[in-house]
Amino acid sequence: MLTFLALSMIIVFIVLLSKNKLSVFAALTIVPFVFGAIATFVTGASFLDLFEWIKEGILFSVNEETGKVSMGVISPAIVILFAVLYFGIMLNVGLFDPLCEFFIKRAKGDPLKVTMATVLTSTVVTLNGDTTTTIIICVAAFLHLYKQMKIKLIYLAVIIVTPIGIFNQLPWGGPTIAAATAMDVSISELFADLLPGMLVAEVFAIFMAYFIGMKERKRLNFDPKTAKDISPKQMETMLDAIRLKDPELKRPKLFVFNLILTLAILVMLVMDIAHGGVLFGIGAAVALTVNYKSASLINERLDDLAADALAPALATLAAGVFSGILTGSGMSTALATSITAIIPESLGANMAPIYALIAAPAITFLPQDAFYFGIAGVMSDVMAQYGISASEAAVASMVGQAFRLISPVIPALYMLVDSTETNFVDFQIKYVIYAWPIILIYLAVYTITGALPI
């Protein structure tokens, strides 16, 4: 019954979002609350337990046996709140203007050069292993450029997340750590097995960005052969769209200060010196004070930026309601058990690649820990009976990471689709259309290297 509830909740959530019947915030809050209330009757739990599940999803939970504290979405929510505020300030003062102007001059109206710059930038930034930070930085750097050149914003979202989905499998990435821990394998050993597939997938990500750029060239009637014919006046018109946007808020004389402040925050973030929310919060306060000085002007800027910062933060907290109820009610465990039962034991040694394909939807719709410590941990023991090692089982469990970056339980994605003015389900569909070969790449490469038995 809990499995049915879990599947129903996910389906209703997707349908309501795709048909724009509910906002992201409402869908993430109301849908799981209704199904969570039903789950209390099914399981015999107290209705008040529903609020405890939500609290654990948003704030934290404590394992009564081990005493381990697991954080909810409050941490990424705070990062998103202050990071969006900080980069909003930096956009206003003109920190990214030189970068946008550089790309406009170099691109000369060429969408292909812009999409290639996007995928390479996302690849470099995502090496820090943090999805939220990568999305925030790439959106801040490229959003206005895409709007100026009239490139479809949904492509910006797809191109940004593709390298993230690949490189979150680095040794310091959450999925790799979870998989290695759940199946008791060495992180370095697991990463060595994953690296060939990641590298080939990155080549595909670059090719995908190239393909999208060529497609946008055609749609926008851009001919590189005539690019040199763009007159100085046309170029100045494009550049003025950047230079003349809110000129009263720009602070060109403080460019060096703002650049050093931003780089310092990012370096400390990568070095894990302090929590991202703390760094961006302090950075926002310093940036406002130095750039605008007057208390009334600072308050005015905060009022203007509040909407941009609040919306994704609220969606992130609402995602905690979704994941908290899914986990606390037992629906995630039931779904994990049911998915495990789908795979026939008679498949024997061929179970690994089939399991990898079947598990992909679970990786997409379940919280990360619920998948790895639920499904993956159980399947590792099952596959061991057929001579499949824990390391090979771990590799199989990572194949579905090809689709992890369209998961409704990843908070930063709601900020991404909000910034790119995209419906969440439309984003999911577009990503699958363009990025589906990655899962085949993983299967093929891991089979060739022997990391995945067939």
Summarised one tens digit per residue, pLDDT across range 159-173 is: 999 999 998 887 766
Does pLDDT of 372 surpass 90? no
Is the pLDDT higher at 378 or at 111?
A: 111
Q: CB within 8 A of 322, min separation 6: which ones? A: 13, 28, 29, 31, 32, 57, 408, 409
Which pLDDT value is given to residue 209?
96
User: Does residue 69 sit within a domain?
Assistant: no
User: Does residue 353 sit within a domain?
Assistant: no
Which pLDDT value is given to residue 282?
96
User: Does residue 245 sit within a domain?
Assistant: yes
Q: CB within 8 A of 342, min separation 6: which ones? A: 358
DSSP state of 61: E
Which pLDDT value is given to residue 346?
65
User: Does residue 223 sit within a domain?
Assistant: yes
DSSP state of 248: G
Q: What are phi and psi of 118, to 5 degrees?
A: -65, -50
Q: Is 350 helix (H, G, I), strand (E, B) or coil?
A: helix
User: Does residue 262 sit within a domain?
Assistant: yes
Decide: 166 and 438 in contact? Cβ < 8 Å. yes
**CA-angle at 429, arms to 309 and 162, nearest 5°:** 65
Nearest residue to 281 via CA among 140, 78, 71: 78
pTM metric for this prediction: 0.71
Query: What type of residue is 417?
Result: V
Tokens of 37: 């209330």
| C-alpha–C-alpha distance, residues 317 and 28, integer Å | 9
Nearest residue to 37 via CA among 70, 65, 64, 9: 9
Full domain range(s) for residue 124:
74-313
**Which band of pLDDT confidence, cut at 50, 70 and 90, is reported for residue 153?**
very high
**Domain tally for the chain?**
1
Question: For the chain, what percent of residues have pLDDT higher than 70?
Answer: 91
Nearest residue to 260 via CA among 133, 95, 415, 381: 95
Q: Is 373 helix (H, G, I), strand (E, B) or coil?
A: helix
User: Does residue 247 sit within a domain?
Assistant: yes
**CA-angle at 451, arms to 339 and 383, nearest 5°:** 35
Which pLDDT value is given to residue 49?
92
